[in-house]
């Protein structure tokens, strides 16, 4: 199959949230806890590879977070595309949002205890911050060898979405954007909120649009980029749009049903 080309002088960005994780299946906040894919999540990742293969897109480089669910999703996709040999870059900057004390807590229970509006602000507003991770759990996280190259203060006890944007933005501007400007096709396999951050930067979303943005698991979102790195079309294109739309609605309803 002939490889499709984007606009002249531009690259292509494939954004892929990991397949269903154990935390997704349990209805809890995953955050920086290292949950693995569920069996269904592994199937979802394989199906995402099928969708990507159907477009003829072949990623040149893969970018993941340091969390297993992101890494495993990328492995499944690149194996199915026969691209296991391409370079892979892993970074803490693509980790999920740090949910602090909400990590591993039931979304439904948090909504019940806090109320619908505070719960939704914590999930989707720009500046709301949950309670921080307790000191003993933060110490364990900072002792994790995957973060050994980072100063302790770089590992947050909690993040607002604005904090997450600040964390992701240098990776976009210093790593992803230059590669895309050079015409590369990149696969970023990451998390709901780190991908929301990338979409916010790509599409220059304001807070109302950001609140409404939900990224479903294992639904590839493809951005063909103009030479100035503007998405064509704005918002990108889902490879299974009807299914992705329904799945995004389910993400929006998490904790409410």
Token pair in block for residue 201:
């930067």
CB 17 within 8 A of CB 215: yes
Q: Which of 22, 96, 159, 219 is catalytic?
A: 96
**89 has catalytic annotation:** no
**112 has catalytic annotation:** no
| Ordered DSSP codes for 183-250 | T-EEEEEE-HHHHHHHHHHHHT--HHHHHT----TT--EEEEE-TT--EEEEEEEESSHHHHHHHHHH
The terminus-to-terminus CA distance of the chain in angstroms comes to: 43
Packed helices 107-114 and 116-124: angle between N→C axes, nearest 10 degrees: 130
Q: Which of 18, 63, 223, 224 is catalytic?
A: 18
Non-local CB neighbours of 114 within 8 Å, separated by 6+ positions: 122
Whose CA is closest to 11, among 186, 220, 233? 186
| Ordered DSSP codes for 123-157 | HH-SS---PPPPHHHHHHHHT-GGGTTS-GGGS-S
Return the active site residues. 18, 96
């Amino acid at each position: 199959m002939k490889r499709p080309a984007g606009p002249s002088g531009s690259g292509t960005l494939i954004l892929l949230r990991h397949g269903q994780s154990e935390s997704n299946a349990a209805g809890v906040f995953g955050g920086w806890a290292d949950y693995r894919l569920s069996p269904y999540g592994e199937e979802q990742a394989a199906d995402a590879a099928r969708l990507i293969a159907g477009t003829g897109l072949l990623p040149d480089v893969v970018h993941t977070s340091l969390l297993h669910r992101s890494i495993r999703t990328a492995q499944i996709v690149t194996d199915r595309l026969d691209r296991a040999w391409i370079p892979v870059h892993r970074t803490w900057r693509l980790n999920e949002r740090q949910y602090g004390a909400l990590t591993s807590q039931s979304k439904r229970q948090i909504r019940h205890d806090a109320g619908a509006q505070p719960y939704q602000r914590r999930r989707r507003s720009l500046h709301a911050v949950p309670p921080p991770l307790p000191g003993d759990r933060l110490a364990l996280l900072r002792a994790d060898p995957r973060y050994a190259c980072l100063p302790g203060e770089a590992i947050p006890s909690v993040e607002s979405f604005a904090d997450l944007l600040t964390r992701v933005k240098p990776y976009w501007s210093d790593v992803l954007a230059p590669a895309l400007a050079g015409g590369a096709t990149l696969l970023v396999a990451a998390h709901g909120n780190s991908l929301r951050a990338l979409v916010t930067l790509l599409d220059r979303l304001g807070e109302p649009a950001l609140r409404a943005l939900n990224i479903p698991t294992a639904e590839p979102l493809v951005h063909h980029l103009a030479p100035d790195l503007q998405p064509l079309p704005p918002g990108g294109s889902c490879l299974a749009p009807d299914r992705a739309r329904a799945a995004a609605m389910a993400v929006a309803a998490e904790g409410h049903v």
